[in-house]
């Protein structure tokens, strides 16, 4: 089963939900705004995505960070701590197709190839 991570009210997440529902695909949704996100999951994602891709540097949350916090992102440990503290920093959606197959963001053609 597909597991999709994100924030329920995000426009990109809404596209993903509509697409999944239209295809009749079963999925589990993890809203990290409500449930949070743990260090182990972030470490796993960072094995598949570089920090600068997983972190949404175009977000309002990112722009509100101090210069010190922004500079600390080059450290994996500090980036994880920031994403746990401000989970809206995480790009969405994060797709987990199982068997170690992950995808970040929204690209209908790429996702279609993975399901």
Please identify every residue annotated as catalytic.
10
Take residue 91 and report the two structure tokens written for it: 């790009």
Residues in the chain, total: 115
Cα dist from 78 to 65, 75, 106, whole Å: 13, 5, 26
Nearest alpha-carbon partner for 15 in 80, 100, 107, 114: 107
């Amino acid at each position: 089963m597909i597991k999709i991570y994100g924030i329920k009210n995000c426009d990109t997440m809404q596209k993903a939900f509509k697409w999944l529902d239209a295809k009749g695909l079963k999925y589990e949704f993890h809203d990290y705004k409500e449930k949070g996100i743990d260090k182990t999951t972030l470490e796993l994602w960072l094995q598949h995505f570089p920090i600068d891709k997983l972190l949404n540097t175009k977000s309002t949350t990112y722009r509100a960070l101090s210069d010190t916090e922004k500079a600390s992102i080059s450290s994996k440990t500090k980036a994880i701590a920031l994403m746990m503290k401000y989970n809206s920093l995480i790009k969405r959606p994060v797709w987990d197709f199982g068997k170690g197959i992950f995808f970040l963001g929204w690209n209908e053609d790429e996702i279609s190839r993975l399901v």
